[in-house]
Amino acid sequence: MSEDFLNLNYNTIIDEITRFISEQVRSRKKNGVVMGLSGGLDSSVCLVLASRSIQRNRIMGLIMPERGLTPKKDIDNARDLAKEMKIKSKEIHFERAKKILLNELPKNKLSGGNLSARLRMAFLYHYAAIGNLLVLGTSDKSELLIGYFTKFGDGAADILPLGGLFKSQVKMLGKHLGLSEQIVNQASSPRFWRGHVAEKEIGLSYHEIDTILQCYLKNDLNNCKQSKKKIKLITNMIKKSQHKREQIPIFNAL
């Protein structure tokens, strides 16, 4: 990945994203935004950007850890940042409810993790409905392109402020915003199971993923510096997840 790719004008990006958030709230006649606070990079960057976009008393943050899966440092990161940003926040512990549901359902590790993401999104939209708020999603461009999100889970949102930035760029943006090294450098993870790490599950670092995605979007994979095996892995992920990025097909009965 070239330095030119990372060496963006982050002050301009901050200005553009904050305008985007404030304009979306204003044009849709909403009272503010609600978002999930995981303590990770993307949600932390989104919170800081939101706090620069609208009054902080118009931001609601939900911390939704899962006992046994969510590391304490993630919870501490989320709590500390919510306190630092002086926003309203609420902790929701849902593992008992999930366990009750899963007792009535077939067992599957990945599907069980996706259920966590969908439960969290249900809570966000519950608060959004009560407070007339927009659900601010935290997915970035890398995750969206390769489909590394749960359909109707963390992929569901009203706005996606980071949807135009690769994970590597979000990391640089986090540094520019003054986030702690702990948050900026911590491994990305949806926390679906104990020890779950995104790069480990995918089999590539986001540095490698973003390099391939740049070439893919430029239709220049022949000149990509990554191996053919890695390129195929990512292009296959893009193809398999296409349905996640498309509108639901509707039968037209004419």
Is 234 a member of any domain?
A: no
- The pLDDT value given to residue 5: 74
Instruction: Tell me whether residue 175 is in a domain.
Output: yes
Listed as ranges, residues in the chain with pLDDT below 50 are 1
Question: Which residue range(s) make up the domain with 88?
Answer: 3-194
Instruction: Give the CA distances from residue 48 to residues 85, 96, 102, 139, in Å, rounded to whole numbers and listed in that order.
Output: 7, 31, 35, 15
Task: Look up tokens 């292009």; give the residue.
Answer: 235
Between the alpha carbon of residue 254 and those of residues 247, 248, 249, 250, the distances in Å are 19, 18, 15, 12
Does residue 252 fall inside a structural domain?
Answer: no
For residue 228, is it within any domain? no
pLDDT of residue 98: 95
Judge whether 103 lies within some domain: yes
47 located within any domain = yes
Between vectors from CA 9 to CA 7 and to CA 13, what angle results, nearest 5°? Answer: 125
Classify the phi-psi angles of 39: left when phi > 0, otherwise alpha if psi is within -120 to 50, otherwise beta.
Answer: left
Tally of domains in the chain: 1
Q: How many CA atoms lie within 13 A of 165 on its CB side?
A: 26
Answer whether 0.85 is exceeded by the pTM.
yes
- 13 is a domain residue: yes
Looking at residue 7, its pLDDT comes to 83
Q: Is residue 245 part of a domain?
A: no
175-184's contacts with Cβ under 8 Å and 24+ in sequence apart are 176/10, 176/11, 176/14, 177/14, 177/45, 177/48, 177/49, 178/48, 179/41, 179/44, 179/45, 179/48, 180/77, 182/73, 182/77, 183/39, 183/40, 183/41, 183/44, 183/77, 183/81, 184/41
Domain of 143, CATH number, reads 3.40.50.620
pLDDT at 130: 98
